[in-house]
Structure 1
């Protein structure tokens, strides 16, 4: 390997291992990575409850839930792709005092992400409302 190739390889390695804090967009992606699977399971649970009922409009509600699940799944895939491209990993930590804790590593920068349960619940309901707007 020539000296110019070696220098280029070292420079690329330094760029890859450089620790940088996440941007606002990346922090939102980390939050989405945590919240969207929760929202998906809420929709699934409600869909299963509706399927067990004898409501006359049960089929319509189940179809609406399926549409919302597909939208959420697409968003989850997009968030996972973004995090992978940006070299960000998120790990579930523990639940203390009803707070959900996650650790993340962003290009070598490590930090914690804490979600207060009540805030998460309110955010999940807000997002569910946004997804239901697609049904109009």
Structure 2
């Protein structure tokens, strides 16, 4: 018997291959990268991204005002400082909650520094990078609205 016919030599000597088998072999040797479906952020996720930008700014503003009350001679300064601490605790708790939710949804936010009046950020959402810009006037108004909501809930809880 010849060496080609020993063991699996009989099959090795065959030169015939079906086209389907050839395509399957080539596909296995050179796998094509899978095309990912781009899942853009939802409106709720955009709001969470905006909150991840606004909440630290609010916390800094309230902390600065609290320090101003500490050195003031106002009769009600003790109450202002207590209210400031309560607001700071609430904002911090919401920041942590928002950060954890963004992490669970695989979204990360980065500051992008540009020399103009707007605030520029980039965020990675499920592997894709998007730009995000906010005008300073919008930031001021949104912070004012959110701060009003915090104070409103604080006063509502004090009445109960």
Question: What range is the shorter-chain TM-score in?
Answer: 0.7 to 0.9
Distance apart, 1:109 and its partner CA: 2.1
Deviation track 1:72-124 (CA, whole Å, cap 9, x = no partner) reads 00110011001100000100001442100000010012111101001101111
Residues 1:100 and 2:119 aligned together = yes
Q: Provide the C-alpha distance between the structure 2 equivalents of 1:75 and 1:18, rounded to a whole number of angstroms.
A: 31
If you compute each CA radius of gyration, which structure gives the higher value, 1 or 2? 2
Other-structure match for 1:7: none
In the TM superposition, structure 1's runs of 4+ consecutive aligned residues that sit over 6 Å from their partners are: none
- Between Structure 1 and Structure 2, the one with more helix by share is 1
Q: Which runs of 5+ in 2 are unaligned?
A: 1-33, 156-160
Residues 1:123 and 2:142 aligned together = yes
TM-score (norm 1): 0.84
User: RMSD value over aligned CA atoms?
Assistant: 1.4
Other-structure match for 2:103: 84
Q: Provide the C-alpha distance between the structure 1 equivalents of 2:115 and 2:87, rounded to a whole number of angstroms.
A: 31
Q: Which runs of 5+ in 1 are unaligned?
A: 1-13
Q: How many residues align?
A: 121
- Between Structure 1 and Structure 2, the one with more strand by share is 1
TM-score (norm 2): 0.72
Other-structure match for 2:9: none
Distance apart, 1:135 and its partner CA: 2.5
- Counterpart of 1:54 (choices 73, 78, 81) is 73
